[in-house]
Amino acid sequence: MKKYFIGICFLVGSLFMFNYNASSLGVPEKGKEKPYLQEMMKRVQLPVEGASKIVKFIRLDETIAAVSTDRIFYYEKGKWRIENIPGEWQTAGKDNFGKLWLGGIGQICQAGEKSLVKLPAEAGKDTIHSLLWTDSKTLLVGTGRGVWQWTGEWQKLQDFKILNINQLVKGSGDELWAATSGGLFRRIAGKWINLSYAVMSPGLGLTYYCLSAGATADDMYFGCQPAVGLISGKGDHRLYSADNGLPFGPVTSVLPVGDELWLGTPVGAICKSGDSWRYYAGRRWLDNNRVNDILPLDSKRVWVATNAGINELGKVPMTLEQKAAYFEKRLNERHLHYGFAAACRFKSMTDTTSFTHSTDDNDGLWTSIYLAAESFRYAVTGEKEAYNNAVRTYLAMEKLGTVNPIPGYVARSYVSIEESTGEGGEWHVSADGKWKWKGDTSSDEIVGHMFAYPIFYDLVATGEMKERVKSFVDKLMGHIVDHNFELVDLDGLATRWGVWSPDSLNTSKRWMYEKGINSLQILAFLKSASHVTQNPKYEKAYNLLVKEHHYLDNMLGQKMYGPYEINHSDDELSFLPYYTLVRYAKESPDKVLYLKSLERSWRAEDADRIPIWNYIASIGLEKNCGLQIAAEEMQLIPMDIRNWPMLNSHRWDIRKSAINDRFFKPQATHPIPTPERAVSKWNSNTYQMDGGGDGLSEDDGAYFLLPYWMARFHSLNQLTANGVDR
């Protein structure tokens, strides 16, 4: 979480086996939000164990045939049946009578008949890539070494010699098209013409991988090494490459679906809708990135055939309120660890019902995010469940202050005496011998505590609970003020990052980077402590830091950027205190400086497209700071928030920055689209091209819940009234 200093001290698809509608998520239909279309992945379960390489989809009236290398899976009316046909099938096609044929290595076969037709001896080892019936008696077979014509006897077409034939399709009238390794061919008036030598741009190269008829028979889409394009019968030709948004290639399958264009590549699927592009790769979207075929089911769903089976990509009508309810339900089912909101780790890739938890370095911070979210939720809805969740979460966090023997100190985390603490960290045993608690608490933790407690105090706590919060905040901030604005551990020394003292921030070069942000933090802590406790001690401490040590001047330039190291983790540690300051110092004469600092920081963060920064800036500055972008990003956050590895450095459409990030890793010049990058709790670099983990861990989802309920609480209408149709 802190500055990087030298020496550096599935949801798997099985979860989505439901019909595509929001009610299947088990969340309520309520509120006045406009539905949007939420992208989802659903794993299509084939009636066999293990993954099957699906090479081709063929529609047979009301039946879908999914052809694998050794069998056919037939899907009709929600049920599967299997036809086993030994061989190494590579493609399939349908004849003029609606019969299904398979093509493999040196042979073809009619499904159901199981009688093999061998290619001539010279083609006995050739792989068949495409089958095309030109009429009821003539079959063209495209292989890795040319085209064979079968009319009961075999004849090789000399036009193609030994070119690799990737696809053969029909065009208008008796026209035929062939995508080959030696060019794009078109048969006109019975004669094959290589368009690559006649009219096509030399820059497209000679290798063409796929073809598909367009809206009319005179339109033909093609995919080649650098681009995908349309040859239009009306002359409205189009060409898409990296220059105008194509994420990757070569495009090996192309399929127009209504107003969308679906593309398959060796590394992922692509959808072009209007001027926008979406890239689906990695286990969040596909079990295997090699796309062999794409089949439209309806206007909102497609099946993608890969080397590991079938994935359904679809769009579900949903509201953000329903999305919040879904994350809420899942968090309470599998993300509670001693009351902390915690990531869970699955024991296998395919079973989301069996999982474990472990301690985290920032249990207090992450759980404070959930506490604030539930407090806002309760204030908005009055729901008993939200109240209970908030109280339960507060009590778990309060224990961080009582499990250790230091008055006013809060631990990073705690676990039972029997539980493993993992590697590293300062661990101690509690006085009753029942717990182990983690020391060396960071400023990150205090940011979380002092952000969430006042919100809980104002919006949820009553009676005795209000007094408990008041007492706890008084002890915590009393400890920090009494120890010269430092968080002091068992050894009597300040923790590594728990330092806000003037001697350090104003005079030590070690704290040059944190001078602004830590000044902001402590001023926010003191204002919120003053609000909760009404103890004049904290207002006095605030005035000391402002008048004698210039902390307001320090915080004006808190965001480090430009030639300085950019620490995206610090954004969280500044915007949460900004919210606290503007919430609890509304009448302060210093507010103009708070807002000046917030405005500067917001301008530096604007391009990052992180919803909660947009919301906090809008609340504090009392103007629209990217609310529509925030709503879009809230919609784009994936439902599957497992730590899948998400790789983007190979993409054509992403421009690499000339400057690496603070960990010396490559980054992009613009944020990676949210559904296409690794999950983060807003504390990571949205420009990071490659990220994620092994896919066995799942985030708790509170990073969605807090901005959602905060925006609802503050009536940010851009969120609650406007949907974004995609």
Question: Per-residue pLDDT tens for 241-295?
Answer: 999 999 999 999 999 998 999 999 999 999 999 999 999 999 999 999 999 999 9
| 3-state DSSP percent of the chain in helix, strand and coil, to 5 | 30, 25, 40
Average pLDDT over residues 326-333: 98
Determine the residue type at 185.
F
pLDDT at 174 over 70: yes
Residue pLDDT, tens place only, 494-523: 999 999 999 999 999 999 999 999 999 999
Secondary structure of 308-336 as H, E, C letters? CEEEEEEEEEECHHHHHHHHHHHHHHHCE
Instruction: Give the DSSP H or E segment for 712.
Output: helix 702-713
**Lowest mean pLDDT across 22-31, 84-93, 283-292, 349-358:** 22-31
Give the per-residue pLDDT at 87: 86
pLDDT at 23 over 90: no
Give the per-residue pLDDT at 725: 36
Residue 420 lies in domain: 321-644+693-721
Task: Give the model's confidence band at 212: pLDDT under 50 very low, under 70 low, under 90 confident, else very high.
Answer: very high
pLDDT at 594 over 70: yes
The number of CA neighbours under 13 Å toward the Cβ of 43 is 22
Task: Give the model's confidence band at 15: pLDDT under 50 very low, under 70 low, under 90 confident, else very high.
Answer: very low
pTM over 0.75: yes
514 in any annotated domain: yes
Question: Per the structure block, which two tokens stand in for 283?
Answer: 């286990």
The CA distance from 372 to 448, in Å, is: 9
Task: Give the model's confidence band at 31: pLDDT under 50 very low, under 70 low, under 90 confident, else very high.
Answer: low
Neighbours of 19 (CB within 10 A): 8
Give the per-residue pLDDT at 16: 33
Secondary structure of 237-306 as H, E, C letters? CEEECHHHCCCCCCCCEEEEECCEEEEEECCEEEEEECCEEEEECCCCCCCCCCEEEEEEEECCEEEEEE
DSSP code at position 646: B
Q: Tell me the torsion sign for CA atoms 628, 630, 634, 635.
A: positive
Determine the residue type at 208.
Y
557 in any annotated domain: yes
Q: Please write down the long-range contacts of 470-474, taking CB distance under 8 Å and 24 or more positions apart.
A: 470/532, 470/533, 472/398, 472/401, 473/528, 473/529, 473/532, 473/533, 474/529, 474/532, 474/533, 474/535
Average pLDDT over residues 354-379: 96
Phi, psi of 690, deg, nearest 5:
-120, 140
386 in any annotated domain: yes
CA nearest neighbour of 602 among 585, 633, 623: 623
Determine the residue type at 445.
E
Residue pLDDT, tens place only, 410-439: 999 999 999 999 889 999 999 999 999 999
pLDDT at 10 over 50: no
Total domain count, the chain: 1
**Lowest mean pLDDT across 9-18, 43-52, 211-220, 425-434:** 9-18
125 in any annotated domain: no
Bridge partners (DSSP) of residue 256 are 261
Phi, psi of 592, deg, nearest 5:
-60, -35
Question: Per the structure block, which two tokens stand in for 620?
Answer: 């504090």
Average pLDDT over residues 193-208: 97
pLDDT at 312 over 90: yes
616 in any annotated domain: yes
46 in any annotated domain: no
The CA distance from 413 to 340, in Å, is: 9
Rounded to a whole number of angstroms, the distance between the first and last alpha carbons of the chain is 34
The CA distance from 395 to 390, in Å, is: 9
CA nearest neighbour of 259 among 314, 305, 214, 318: 214
The CA distance from 49 to 25, in Å, is: 27
- The CATH number of the domain where 612 resides is what? 1.50.10
SS3 call for 529: helix
Residue 194 CA, distance from chain mean position:
43
The CA distance from 399 to 16, in Å, is: 37
Task: Give the model's confidence band at 672: pLDDT under 50 very low, under 70 low, under 90 confident, else very high.
Answer: very high
Summary mean pLDDT of the chain:
93
From the CA atom positions of the chain, what is the Rg in Å?
Answer: 30
107 in any annotated domain: no
> Helix 515-533 to helix 463-482 angle, to the nearest 10 degrees?
140
Neighbours of 286 (CB within 10 A): 25
Give the per-residue pLDDT at 51: 77
Per the document, the length of the chain is: 726
8 in any annotated domain: no
Rounded to the nearest 10°, the torsion over CA 352, 358, 361, 363 is 70
Q: Tell me the torsion sign for CA atoms 379, 380, 382, 385.
A: negative
> Helix 611-621 to helix 591-605 angle, to the nearest 10 degrees?
150
Contacts of 7 (CB under 8 A, 6+ apart): none
pLDDT at 164 over 90: yes
Give the per-residue pLDDT at 171: 94
The CA distance from 247 to 650, in Å, is: 9
Contact between residue 580 and residue 616 where contact means Cβ atoms under 8 Å apart:
no
